[in-house]
Structure 1
Amino acid sequence: MDLPLAGVRVLDLADGRCESTGRYLADLGAEVLRIEPPGGAASRRVGPFTEDGTSLSFAVHAINKRAAVVDLTTAAGRELLGALAATADILLHTARPDQQAALGLDPEGLLAAHPGLVVVSITDFGLTGPYRDWTGSSDVHVAIGGLLSRSGLPGLPPLLPPAFLADECAAAQAAWATLVAYANRLDTGRGDAVDFSLLEAVAQVLDPGYGISGSARAGATVRDLPRGRPDARHLYPIFPAADGWVRICLLAARQWRGMFRWLGEPAQFAEPKYDNIGVRFAAAGELYPLIGKLFAERTMETIVAESIGFGVPAAALLDAAATVAGEHVRARGTFVPVEVAPGVTVPVADGLVEIDGVRAGRRFGPPPLGECDPAVLVTTAAASRPGPERAGDLIGAAGAPRHPFAGLRVLDLGVIVVGAELGRLFADHGAEVIKVENRAFPDGSRQNRSGGQMSESFAWGHRNKSSLGLNLRDPRGQAIFLRLAASADVVLSNFKPGAMESLGLGYDELARVNPGIIVADSSAFGSTGPWSRRLGYGPLVRATAGLSELWRYPDLPDGFCDAITIYPDHVAARVSAVAVLALLLRRRRTGRGGTVSAAQIETIFYQMGAGLAEEYLRPGSVRAEGNDRRGDAPRGLFACAGDDEWCVVDVNAGGDGDTTFGRLADVVGEPRWRDDPRFATAAGRDAHRAEINAAVGRWTATHTPAQAARHLQEHGVPAGQMLRVHELPADPQLAARRLLVEQDQPQLPPPLLTLGGEAHYRGVADPLTGPAPLVAEHTRELAERLLGLTPAEVDALVAAGVLEAPSPALPVP
């Protein structure tokens, strides 16, 4: 297999944060060298652990990497790092801003010595702004990033989502930012300093308040939700079955009609008005009890089997162990055994995507400490430099930041969230992205309670695109698509597996007219296996993967709280985008196209890697945590002064809980804790967490969230205030870093705030923020420019139902 990043050399110094970034690049073929200090990376001492003390988290993230020890606290070590950097293309690190210069990792110094190197600095809050020197954690980021305020049930405290989500979502975004900068370097010869903020990544990827939302929201955004947790359970309802729980998604009118038949066609719901999603939601109090009665005496397996026959998307809420052992996962070979310690083998997700029909996954297991001699690597790497695309060999004159995908043409058949986001990521950086759509089979994300075809949600997900109205079910429409594909670079879709092939537009047909074409598809459960044809939406994928069972109040049997989120759609789009860009890079050296196939459920499995490994070794160990994280104290959610005001405190986030706890003791007025032997270790504090949490809670109750977070952070204690979505624009850090910028959308009142870039670059321009298109808005212009059709020919095709286009503008009198 010709892995697309073969020959790309990466120095990976990410420790404890975004370690999946390096692994994803390694899975795609990059030569990734994990550089650790003497004694090993701090993440080798982070649980969960095997019986012999091996970190499962480190092991899972280090697959396909090599390892070397370099002491950056010494001049010799920094000189050795410089020698390695001279042979590398990319350097990833997570050093704190105030420590980078001392370790030889400051971007200025690295780029001065190695002008062709892409240096990716991954920090909690970025290298600029008033929070620059704060310490974060997954929980701190979800609090400040706006997700925490929406997670939970009405009348209850907000609920922290599973801890792995924030960092893993950020890691996918970091991989995208890295390859964007690297692609730009191949064009210009100039390296880059990529300033990547974990907080901004979480705010953009996990469930962005200013990003496209699922079709169940019908264009509504979360910005104007009422205070407290919104009750989103009606969007993707969960019902008890005879042996567990089942979730359904009734979004499209045809799905509702299937449910209507399944219920026995009750007369009170026979009116056509119930085809409207808003009307159904308004009637949930009458409708959902009928569904509950239907399901109550059926098993989960029976309900899911029957749902397929009625065309109703449904999924059982499984736990992680049940899913990993399931028939679909086994049929797809989703997991492979990996030896993480001598004699200890666990199942690990075998990569995130399939490239050219083959998994880009495990080639070798995690490396032992100091596996490679870095001095030898310098010599061998320098000798194997293949030519002018190595770092430092194509250094050109400094120029203005640019859009690296200018000139790239993308045919975008993507729908709903993951489809929208994938195309947008390329459009933001200059690609011509043509959304191919048809009113007869509308994109669910155009569904709008106001009745129009433009909403803030749609505008966010489809900015910078044009729209071509084309009927792909007509042979003439298929022929037009093939003509377009002949001059395109990428085709994107997320239809049900087999849909493109049934239209005569599968990869084989597209490659016949364009051997360099890159075709990407994504689906809920993958293109093969017994579940491949199931109707799949993110909520069903979360349920099936075991995530819904983890995202709930642990003391409430029906306390499921993931209905509000769009995960994994936004992150799955980044996963596919990285793979598509990697294939574009491969095409530069081979001229050959290829395919990318991604499954949303496998994105979740990949990100749950350490937890799934622990569950395999110790069944029953992975369960909902709620707001009281274990392993140290205090770690969790605390009420502050005011109505429904909260902050997160995580004494363990900085990696030295003992020191941090001493500082916290002084801040909250408990200096005696410093000398209390019960609190001398993390285990001791964990055992006495109730006493500690009560005292911290008394202190936070006298401060606003912002006051509490600021005061704690000023004393070196990781903390973060809970922000609501409407509060994000005014946050001083997010404002200073321009998380939100303005988008021009003629159909919506200005200013429309939209997400800024995925990182701060030197050589890559800020993302474009042009409008999203109306349906078929650009059909005439595209048909004439790209297909050479005359206006009369376009009119004839419109009249025949092959093309869709707005009526020609009337002449001005």
Structure 2
Amino acid sequence: MSDWLPPGLFDYGAELAAEVARRLGAGVVGDAACWIDMPRRLKLADVVSEPVRWGTGALCVDLGPDDGETWERFAEVHQGESDTEAVAASAQEWRLPVTPYRRMSEAAVVTAAPESNCEPMDPASFDGEVLDGKQIVDLTSMWAGPLCTELLGRAGAEVRKVSSTARPDGLAGTVMYAELNAHKTAVELDPRFGAGRDALERLLATADLLVTSLSPRALANLELLPEQLCVRHPRLHTLAVTAFEPDSPECDWIAYGTGVHAAAGLGWMGDEPQAPAYSYPDPLAGLRAARVAVDQLAGVAHQHRRVSMAGVVAPLVGSMACSRGDGTPTSAAGSGGDRHG
């Protein structure tokens, strides 16, 4: 099992956690390392997908429980193709979470984007009351989104976690799931159909914030994109936690944290692709999303925001590229802006 994690991960995570703690309180956020190192702290075998060699490169094939047969058909169709970029793009058309392992010199570094057109509010003026009485609908799964909403719940928000028996959370039944969802009320419904759809609409009618971790295409199918929601729920804030940036070629791709690690160029060490010890982009994105959510509800950030794992790991990419001197742009090595896709 790999034990590799990017240099500077925990220091960077501590910076993100400090930003959240200034808004929610240190007692709510706690030690960033506890969130970032959850799999090892909880003694979980956080199995990540090992690189699949393909042609002269490699792919991150991070399959969900229902993807096995589709992947087998896909692999048979594309047998003999050597261009990993083209193969990954085709796999995404099949709705498979497959990304290429890129060398750092091939990966685009995401630059920071403006936080908001508003003047930022002094976090000290939040007084820990921003979330009092706020109602949040949590339509997330796995690690990044649930971490965001768990921190909001610990700070006093009323979080309703939407659980679907049709598409259960991949962590359901684990101690990690219990810790990431301890301060939430579970609501079982299937948002795709009939009664479940109506129940979701009733939740959104009284909610202040909807947090999602679905792909843009899935959000569109459920009519949960901001432009779709603004007619039905004009006061509702939305925060989408996604894999890639909205203005990137991969903006509609689906991927887990390991796939983002691969595509960002953080997984090619020397002559070999390298899987991480665990999916570290998730907790980084969860911390960043929690900060953005508080700013939204405080009225100092846009009503509709998007946070991506690719955007939040960009400073790590920039730092590594700078230290290696391999010619990769380093403009993201600074404070770590959060336009995410």
Query: Is TM (by shorter chain) over 0.5?
Result: yes
Of 283, 307, 311, the residue aligned with 1:598 is 307
Q: Which residue in the other structure is 1:173 paired with?
A: 17
Of 195, 198, 203, the residue aligned with 1:484 is 203
- Secondary structure at 1:247 match in 2: strand
Q: Which residue in the other structure is 1:707 paired with?
A: none
> Aligned letter for 2:52?
F
Q: 1:455-604 maps to which residues of 2 (within 5 A)?
A: 455-550=174-269, 554=270, 557-558=271-272, 560-562=274-276, 564-586=277-299, 594-604=303-313
| Structure 2 gaps, min length 5 | 331-341
Q: 1:98-247 maps to which residues of 2 (within 5 A)?
A: 151-152=2-3, 161-181=5-25, 200-210=31-41, 221-222=43-44, 232=47, 235-247=48-60
> Aligned letter for 1:169?
G
Find out whether 1:251 has 2:64 as its counterpart.
Answer: yes
Q: Which residue in the other structure is 2:334 paired with?
A: none
User: Offset at 1:475?
Assistant: 4.8
User: Offset at 1:469?
Assistant: 1.7
> Aligned letter for 2:68?
W
Is the 1:406–1:430 Cα contact (8 Å) retained in structure 2?
Answer: yes
| Distance of 2:231 and 2:55 partners within structure 1 | 52
| Distance of 2:188 and 2:290 partners within structure 1 | 24
Q: Which residue in the other structure is 1:67 paired with?
A: none
User: Offset at 1:195?
Assistant: 8.5
Change (3 A) 1:460 1:403: farther
Q: Which whole-Å deviations, capped at 9, do the CAs of 1:589-629 have from their partners, x for residues lacking one?
A: xxx970110111111113333444566x752899xxxxxxx
> Aligned letter for 1:315?
T
- Secondary structure at 2:268 match in 1: helix
Q: Which residue in the other structure is 2:102 paired with?
A: 318
Is the 2:52–2:59 Cα contact (8 Å) retained in structure 1?
Answer: yes
Of 350, 357, 370, the residue aligned with 2:112 is 350
User: Offset at 1:263?
Assistant: 4.5
TM-align CA RMSD? 3.7
Q: Which residue in the other structure is 1:215 paired with?
A: none
Q: Which residue in the other structure is 1:360 paired with?
A: 115
| Distance of 1:304 and 1:241 partners within structure 2 | 10
Q: Which residue in the other structure is 1:715 paired with?
A: none
Change (3 A) 1:510 1:321: same
Moved more, 540-549 or 421-430: 421-430
| Identical aligned residues as a percent | 20
Change (3 A) 1:261 1:196: closer
TM-score (norm 2): 0.82
Q: Which whole-Å deviations, capped at 9, do the CAs of 1:311-349 have from their partners, x for residues lacking one?
A: 43222111222111xxxx7xxxx4xxxxxxxxxxxxxx2
> Aligned letter for 1:525?
F
Is the 2:60–2:259 Cα contact (8 Å) retained in structure 1?
Answer: yes
| Structure 1 gaps, min length 5 | 1-149, 153-158, 182-193, 212-220, 266-290, 335-348, 352-358, 363-385, 396-401, 447-453, 623-813
| Distance of 1:577 and 1:490 partners within structure 2 | 12
Is the 1:523–1:599 Cα contact (8 Å) retained in structure 2?
Answer: yes
Find out whether 1:435 has 2:161 as its counterpart.
Answer: yes
Which of the two has higher C-alpha Rg?
1
- Secondary structure at 2:133 match in 1: coil
Q: Which whole-Å deviations, capped at 9, do the CAs of 1:488-514 have from their partners, x for residues lacking one?
A: 111100101142333223324444454
TM-score (norm 1): 0.37
Q: Which whole-Å deviations, capped at 9, do the CAs of 1:636-683 have from their partners, x for residues lacking one?
A: xxxxxxxxxxxxxxxxxxxxxxxxxxxxxxxxxxxxxxxxxxxxxxxx
Is the 1:238–1:245 Cα contact (8 Å) retained in structure 2?
Answer: yes
The alignment covers a number of residue pairs equal to 328
- Secondary structure at 2:137 match in 1: strand
| Distance of 1:508 and 1:361 partners within structure 2 | 19
| Distance of 1:559 and 1:301 partners within structure 2 | 15
| Distance of 1:527 and 1:430 partners within structure 2 | 31
Q: Which whole-Å deviations, capped at 9, do the CAs of 1:661-714 have from their partners, x for residues lacking one?
A: xxxxxxxxxxxxxxxxxxxxxxxxxxxxxxxxxxxxxxxxxxxxxxxxxxxxxx
Is the 2:136–2:208 Cα contact (8 Å) retained in structure 1?
Answer: yes
Is the 1:500–1:506 Cα contact (8 Å) retained in structure 2?
Answer: yes
> Aligned letter for 1:541?
V
